[in-house]
A = this chain, B = another copy of it.
Amino acid sequence: MKPETPSPLVIDRIVRNALEEDLSRGDLTTHACIAADTQGSAEFRARENLVVSGLPVVRHVFRLVDETLTFVAHVEDGVLLNKGDLAATVSGDARSILMAERVALNFLQRMSGVASQARRYIDCLPEGAKTRIADTRKTTPGLRAFERYAVRCGGAHNHRNDLSSAVMIKDNHIAAAGSVTTAIQRAKAYAPHTTKIECEVDTFPQLEEALAAGADIIMLDNFDNDAVSRAVEFVQGRAVLEASGGITLERIPSLAETGVDVISSGALTHSAKAVDIGLDWLD
């Protein structure tokens, strides 16, 4: 299923913010060097293999800078582009295109970087594996909606959106509550009935306790593959099992083969690099 794009209101808010940074005081160079009403066209092309993400954002960048520009996306977000492939074309007032170029690329390169990173993890999953790859809340401040979308474009899934989207009981919460059981009980009593309860566990006894206390999801923190396997076998589908900590691309295949439901990794967002996409002018 094509991932849901961020709401138009969110795109509008974030793009305005970015344009204020770069463009709000004008573009001296373009205005001085390019004659008014000069027309032009330019193409967004991949300069490396990548999964594209951010085209609706780029469309809005151009629209806010100059609503007379024509932007055509030739592919949909989530598509794999090979080096040299065409992603989109923009045409119209040359000054406007030049003024919007850097902001457009900054979004597209970063979002495609996250999508490509996510795809790398997905590509490591064994054929037919039911394990999900999920992101975390380790996103760039101000860009969470865009990065979560990019993760989905890459084929991975999102974890909870924010501190209110699900309960996630960690070691500090357990310590403060006194036990896994008490923490889960309190959370179930307090949280909306529409909220899942996830509990992070470090040990097998904690796992058993969390399962007995009714956790919906149990996060196996830094369990090795053997421990994960045993957990899967023990839980028997009575809770969703999520492996986290020490996740590397190399480990994905073997970890997925344990049958764990979810593998989550902050690296999908916090360690993604911008990918190389260029805006090439057509004569």
Q: What are 8 contact pairs spanning A and B, CB under 8 A?
A: A7-B19, A26-B163, A28-B166, A29-B168, A99-B163, A109-B138, A157-B192, A165-B194
Q: Is the CB of B140 within 8 A of A143?
A: yes
Q: Interface size on A (CB < 8 Å)?
A: 100
Interface majority SS (helix, strand, loop, mixed), chain A: mixed
- A73: CB under 8 A from chain B? no
Question: Given A64-B9, A140-B110, A176-B34, A195 and B28 touching (CB < 8 A)?
Answer: yes
CA distance A172 to B1 in the complex (A): 19
User: Whose C-beta in chain B lies nearest to the C-beta of A182?
Assistant: B33
Q: Is the CB of B18 within 8 A of A192?
A: no
User: Whose C-beta in chain B lies nearest to the C-beta of A29?
Assistant: B167
Q: Is the CB of B193 within 8 A of A8?
A: no
Q: Is the CB of B159 within 8 A of A192?
A: yes
CA distance A165 to B172 in the complex (A): 24
7 shortest interchain CB distances as A-B pairs: A25-B164, A18-B141, A33-B173, A166-B194, A32-B190, A270-B274, A27-B163
Q: Is the CB of A189 within 8 A of B29?
A: no
Q: Is the CB of A176 within 8 A of B64?
A: no
Q: Is the CB of B18 within 8 A of A142?
A: yes
Q: Which of A15-49 touch B at CB < 8 Å?
A: 15-36, 38
Question: Given A16-B9, A32-B167, A160 and B23 touching (CB < 8 A)?
Answer: no
- A85: CB under 8 A from chain B? no
CA distance A99 to B164 in the complex (A): 11
Q: Is the CB of B1 within 8 A of A189?
A: yes
Contact of A28 among B164, B176, B262 (CB under 8 A): B164
CA distance A22 to B140 in the complex (A): 11
B-side contacts of A88, CB under 8 Å: none
B-side contacts of A271, CB under 8 Å: 273-274
Q: Is the CB of B20 within 8 A of A9?
A: yes
B-side contacts of A193, CB under 8 Å: 132, 134, 157, 159, 217, 240, 242, 261-262
Q: Which of A234-283 touch B at CB < 8 Å?
A: 240, 242, 261-262, 266, 270-271, 273-274, 281
Contact of A106 among B138, B157, B196 (CB under 8 A): B138
User: How far, in Å, is A200 (CB) from chain B's closest CB?
Assistant: 10
- A191: CB under 8 A from chain B? yes
